[in-house]
Chains A and B, each alone.
Chain A
Amino acid sequence: MSRYFTDEHEWIDVEGEIATVGITDYAQEQLGDIVFVELPAEGASFEKGDDAAVVESVKAASDVYAPISGEVVESNSALEDEPALVNSDAEEDGWFFKLRIADASELEGLMNEAAYKKFVASL
């Protein structure tokens, strides 16, 4: 399994043809207390860059983009009842949705963990 990061502060775990997507710990810290997560329906298809989910704090609503193209195979229903999971465990239990990867070449050019850390430090 390998983990990728985007400059939109999302992480992607790739296992075979399935990618699990969430927002980074840095992102959840910036957003503050998460109060609601709107997740995509299973079967929804996204092109890379489409609005795929919404994450809300008290004062802001942020779009989560599909980091790569694909079809949603599962959404993390635990977030519906407990959006605070995104704050407490953004990069594991707080995942958002899983995609069936349409084009693995889109993963090229994404950051690894070290590169993302460097990117965050530069902000």
Chain B
Amino acid sequence: MTMLKEGRPTAPAPVEDAHMAPATATGNRALMLEEKLIFEIGSTETTGVDFAQAPLTGSRLGNLARTDVIGLPGLSEQETVRHYTRLSRQNYAIDLGLFPLGSCTMKHNPRLNEKVARMPGFADIHPLQPQSTVQGALGVINELAFWLIELTGMHGVAMTPKAGAHGELCGLLCIRAALEARGDARSVVLVPESAHGTNPATAAFCGYKVEDIPATPEGRVDLEALKARLGPDVAAVMITNPNTCGLFERDMKTISDAVHAAGAFVYCDGANFNAIVGRVRPGDLGVDAMHINLHKTFSTPHGGGGPGSGPVVLSEALAPFGPLPYTARMADGTIHLIEEENVGEEMPRSFGRMSAFHGQMGMFTRALAYILSHGADGLRQVAEDAVLNANYILRSLDDVLDAPFGQSGPCMHEALFSDKGLAEGFTTLDIAKGLIDEGFHPMTMYFPLVVHGAMLVEPTETESKAALDQFILALRSLAERAKAGDDALKGAPYHAPRRRLDETLAARKPVLTWTDPGMV
């Protein structure tokens, strides 16, 4: 026989203690690579782009040529790809796993949407091209607008708002314009305690005084308190439905009727529309204005914090006051863009423009592709599965975690827990950081503010039962450890690219830009 003695061992030696991994010289840990800042690895002479030689011409820069060193480092193409690829691997994302951020609707982002948005006919057209050359783009806006109106049972839709909060602003500006048109100046907007922070901020941003409406012990708007506060000074009530405790506001129609009887308008925060799309139309509940986060309900990517897109559906009373520009389908089938120059005949009462151009077109194409993929039947199933998944989580964990409104009926799209009952010194933060080690993004924590140590879990409809069961297993184990006072939990996360970060230091001595150590 022949014998080959050289070569590598093919079975590992037994590991005594996996925790005692030695430090590496580079700080890297196998696939987890540390990455310096571009300012530390690039140089102002390096570039990853080649250009043709510029023709020789004189300079007409008005004696303003920039002669200082700007300080922008460049990298070669290969280094650039590597830098951002390495950084990307330090992020959690929906593509990696369940992302149960309550109120954020982190659902799967279909790649068809990305493909469609990149078609040159959509990606490479200028917002000020003559209308005859962009009929397809105006058609997308018009078709998406049609769907949003039908799905919500409303009268019109303002497409230009850039994000949810911008949509809130749009809705409140419509309300103010409508009130002013009838010579009825009102000064107060009522907002439930459990509302998103954007609601009071938006009301204040457009000049209203904000007053809180209390919640009932079962987590819904206190109808009697609301009715008692309504009066001739109240311009609007802003309600989130389903609300931030994950519950449907049962009295919504009664609330709307009371608000209308008092001469005010109902603004609905549509952040949680995913729970009811295709099953309930806000228009049937008396809503006057509601923004729709296309990046939540309609699957456009969150992109690490934006861009969002927040079209606002409007009731008949508010639609005439919506912003410019907007699209209208003409009798001959062409689609017309209504802007400042022709607004006189078409929409004289519009409150004006709230952003340059036509809104988040790149999100419209994605959202429309998503809506057409699901259709009326699929969207209804979306709401049903989202609500089913949330209730499954709620009932799988309410024996180990406090569910403050667990007795208030089924939840909608999100399950709310609190840190009540954990061992002394253990908080929601510890559970959240423990989830990171278990391979999940934490839930929304410490929101809504009405629940102490809130944990708001929104699984969305795009999670399989197997994924939910895995998440439940992890959260159950963490709840048990926190109840048992397992101190190791307070050090979590152990396995993430970074341990807990010092936010106090960051805020006390803000370092917001990089400074070359050689320069200080």
A–B contact via C-beta, under 8 angstroms: yes
Please report A residues at the B interface, Cβ cutoff 8 Å: 33, 35-36, 56, 58-59, 83-84
Residues of chain B contacted by A33 (CB below 8 angstroms) = 504, 508
A28 CB, nearest partner CB in chain B, Å: 13
* Consensus secondary structure, chain B interface: helix
11 further interface pairs, Cβ-Cβ under 8 Å (given A33-B508, A36-B508, A83-B508)? A33-B504, A35-B504, A35-B507, A35-B508, A36-B507, A56-B507, A58-B503, A58-B504, A58-B507, A59-B446, A84-B508
A112 to B446 alpha-carbon distance, docked (Å): 35
Residues of chain A contacted by B507 (CB below 8 angstroms) = 35-36, 56, 58
A83 to B507 alpha-carbon distance, docked (Å): 11
Tier of interface size on chain B: under 10
The residue of chain B having its C-beta at the shortest distance from the C-beta of A84 within the complex is B508
A5 to B504 alpha-carbon distance, docked (Å): 28
Residues of chain A contacted by B503 (CB below 8 angstroms) = 58
Residues of chain A contacted by B446 (CB below 8 angstroms) = 59
Give the tally of cross-chain contacts (CB within 8 A).
Answer: 14
- Top 10 A-B pairs, shortest CB-CB distance: A35-B507, A33-B504, A58-B503, A35-B508, A58-B507, A58-B504, A35-B504, A83-B508, A36-B507, A84-B508
Q: List 14 A-B contacts (CB under 8 A).
A: A33-B504, A33-B508, A35-B504, A35-B507, A35-B508, A36-B507, A36-B508, A56-B507, A58-B503, A58-B504, A58-B507, A59-B446, A83-B508, A84-B508
Residues of chain A contacted by B508 (CB below 8 angstroms) = 33, 35-36, 83-84
B322 CB, nearest partner CB in chain A, Å: 34
A83 to B504 alpha-carbon distance, docked (Å): 11
A63 CB, nearest partner CB in chain B, Å: 14
B310 CB, nearest partner CB in chain A, Å: 26
A20 to B373 alpha-carbon distance, docked (Å): 67
A-contact bits for B499-516, CB 8 A (1 contact / 0 none): 000011001100000000
Residue of A33, A36, A56, A83 ringed by the most chain B CB atoms within 10 A: A33
The residue of chain B having its C-beta at the shortest distance from the C-beta of A36 within the complex is B507
A51 CB, nearest partner CB in chain B, Å: 14
A74 to B507 alpha-carbon distance, docked (Å): 25
B432 CB, nearest partner CB in chain A, Å: 14
A31 CB, nearest partner CB in chain B, Å: 12
